[in-house]
Structure 1
């Protein structure tokens, strides 16, 4: 069957949903489709279930850290019960999402979408023609080109394991592996992280990462670097992982091997060439308006954009930019220069703005102030000893250029620094004389981070 629309959206995650709803509210005829359950990565296979698991791990960590400090007793994670609780968040999403589209008058489709022309997309037995097509298809784990790759469990499936195995190997040293490893370790599994080169968590400041690696090792996580995956094979006792450089390979036995080695845009099945949509190995090529450089009818939001940091808030902002540009004619541009990011371990680590290495590479003169806050009573009182910071400040203007943190609540504190960078605030603007931050709080500890930099 052939149908015509003003807009077709591919993907039902946060970006695709926002584009569909806002354009429908503006009076457009809108259709949306997805090859998987409605809801997208964040709601079903990312942020939401991750926060549930990480919250349980943090609760266990906090009680254990306070052992001998007035909180006696043992605590543990009941994995089946935790996953059942997690599913109360995820299971209702597909039905609710699809019902919300239908109530809004958005036509819903299911199945793999494939371009059949610059303005035509085939979904199952239907061919949909649209003036605009928005691609918000999200991402999936990067294919692993090694023997036994089919034995590796996608990170998406970790959320729904019925039982947690005793030995888990995580392939890749990014935030997915670290977050899951911290949950698994707190739940009693022996966990190993294999990183192909010498640095884990490459998007974060190396000094902050060193603190996090130390915290990880202290709870039993074995972090192995220079360990590219070579093969996975099944044995009578479980799985055997071979990793390492040629001639220096090591063997790791496991009950479960989890893919945490990066994600790529989920666009390979769209037949983008048939739609004259230019791509490269990183994703779809777009201009500053998030519009395809080769097909002006196509806009891209979220992970499918080759320049995207692949974070949910970025996808949401992309969606709003795409909506405005579709409705009003390319009036907004995308800017990824100030994007805070967090790894939800225990303790969490966070980053925004320039790193030291990036500042040096760009030739930007700056003052670097780093320190340890584990002695602050706000941290001692909860038994957290891995707390630190590094700030980068422009030597002349005294503007904040970068902030890198580890410790309790840094996922909140980092937003203060993001706001400061976005609005060119100086360290003096963050000082106690300027703002009497709520006390005692983790945000108040900004005062101690910037004290040596503030004008006396």
Structure 2
């Protein structure tokens, strides 16, 4: 059998894979790209973009509830089929448009997950393909749960394609996906229960603000069951039954649908990396600062599947650029840990950038913490919300801002201002000397840094 050869073979068609493939192709290298799903990646088709589009309708209902009786007489009626049709205008064209763009660059496309058969060869679509270099950009997949009836669980893909809002739902896991979609469904009339194995939701975020968010979601009708171990799920006539253990007691719950929101893991299981001497662990493919495999120099990994990444689209694009550049020019560009803000798209938004309180205490001898509840401030009162809080961390020796955590209606935007402040090593005085529009959430940031 003839072996097809390329200079570069890319696995994954998300922003990381596309970026690496484009750089290599434009540099005159022969490139192929494979993906087992629709071309275009998670964010554009089944992640950030469609989620945020749908969330705006949820936010409309939520804000209308806050203002009911204060100028709003009736809540808006959301026609979910129309929302899905609107969403499809954004997501449906992506796969073909992505393939067209890649074809125009002269990149050969394969619609299957490849398997490594040696350090320089893969098997895909029944063909043996060799390459000088490989780029693994396969992203993440839903974490499998070791419980009876696991195959009955749905995931975020199913939520994004809901034909109608279910009457009830159980989420197993309270990370980004669980918290965002439990907010969405509960706001739109679904009875939601969250089952979490640990003692808190959103373990990556500040506990002070997470507790306030959880309490707000409880007021929105969400039941939280912490320190609960799900044991099994079974199909009933109309509902599903989830059996879980908590404090030694076994209990069951019923709902119309059950979602696996336990998180995602690197999508490497199908690749058979052992055959290519590519080292990996739970964090993904182990790479050096050049995004190159620590064990096989022919392999690079970038985006969510690499050991140096977070599940954030801007970071994936940056890593894809570094991997592609280093293949073309030799290892000259290094990846450095970036200051990347992250947001949970609930209402209010929960946003974070820089050091957590624990991290700041490890890095600096003394930190000053600006922490408070701003629910009696103008911007919260005008929206009739009782949830608005913050925690900003400052290196006491230099008076520079080193970490920021916000729970606010516009935190998705205002966290970027604090991100720039940290990036540019601004002191509290520097920041407070800025002039912002008033009255705005941005202007509130200066008040957060006021001495108590």
> What range is the shorter-chain TM-score in?
over 0.9
Q: Distance in 2 between matches of 1:336 and 1:245?
A: 39
Corresponding residue for 2:398?
A: 397
Corresponding residue for 1:218?
A: 219
Q: Distance in 2 between matches of 1:60 and 1:41?
A: 27
- How many residue pairs are counted as aligned between the two chains? 451
Corresponding residue for 1:72?
A: 73
Asked whether the equivalents of residues 193 and 222 of structure 1 are also in contact (C-alpha less than 8 Å), the reply is yes
Asked whether the equivalents of residues 20 and 325 of structure 2 are also in contact (C-alpha less than 8 Å), the reply is no
The list of structure 1 runs, each at least 4 consecutive aligned residues, that deviate by more than 6 angstroms after superposition, is none
Superposition pairs for residues 151-166 of structure 1, below 5 Å?
151-166=152-167
Asked whether the equivalents of residues 64 and 75 of structure 1 are also in contact (C-alpha less than 8 Å), the reply is no
Corresponding residue for 1:99?
A: 100
**1:37 deviation in Å?**
0.8
Asked whether the equivalents of residues 23 and 325 of structure 2 are also in contact (C-alpha less than 8 Å), the reply is no
Q: Secondary structure at the match of 1:86?
A: helix
Question: Alpha-carbon deviations, 1:35-70, whole Å to 9, x = none?
Answer: 111111111111011101211111111112111222
Q: Distance in 1 between matches of 2:192 and 2:84?
A: 19
Q: Distance in 1 between matches of 2:373 and 2:335?
A: 36
Superposition pairs for residues 27-106 of structure 1, below 5 Å?
27-106=28-107
Q: Distance in 1 between matches of 2:122 and 2:3?
A: 10
TM-score, scaled relative to structure 2: 0.96
Asked whether the equivalents of residues 113 and 123 of structure 1 are also in contact (C-alpha less than 8 Å), the reply is yes
**1:283 deviation in Å?**
1.4
Corresponding residue for 1:452?
A: 451
Corresponding residue for 1:421?
A: 422
Larger deviation, residues 232-241 vs 386-395: 232-241
Larger deviation, residues 406-415 vs 236-245: 236-245
Q: Secondary structure at the match of 2:89?
A: helix
Q: Secondary structure at the match of 1:162?
A: coil
Q: Secondary structure at the match of 2:252?
A: strand
Larger deviation, residues 307-316 vs 172-181: 307-316
Corresponding residue for 1:300?
A: 301
Structure 1 residue 345 corresponds to structure 2 residue 346: yes
**1:159 deviation in Å?**
0.7
Superposition pairs for residues 44-443 of structure 1, below 5 Å?
44-245=45-246, 247-336=248-337, 338-362=339-363, 364-431=365-432, 433=433, 435-443=434-442
**1:374 deviation in Å?**
2.2
**For the structure 1 residues 117 and 400, does the alpha-carbon distance in structure 2 shift closer, same or farther, using more than 3 Å as the test?**
same
Larger deviation, residues 379-388 vs 102-111: 379-388
Q: Distance in 2 between matches of 1:364 and 1:206?
A: 22
Q: Distance in 2 between matches of 1:443 and 1:300?
A: 38
Cα-Cα RMSD: 1.6
Q: Secondary structure at the match of 1:173?
A: coil
Q: Secondary structure at the match of 1:60?
A: helix
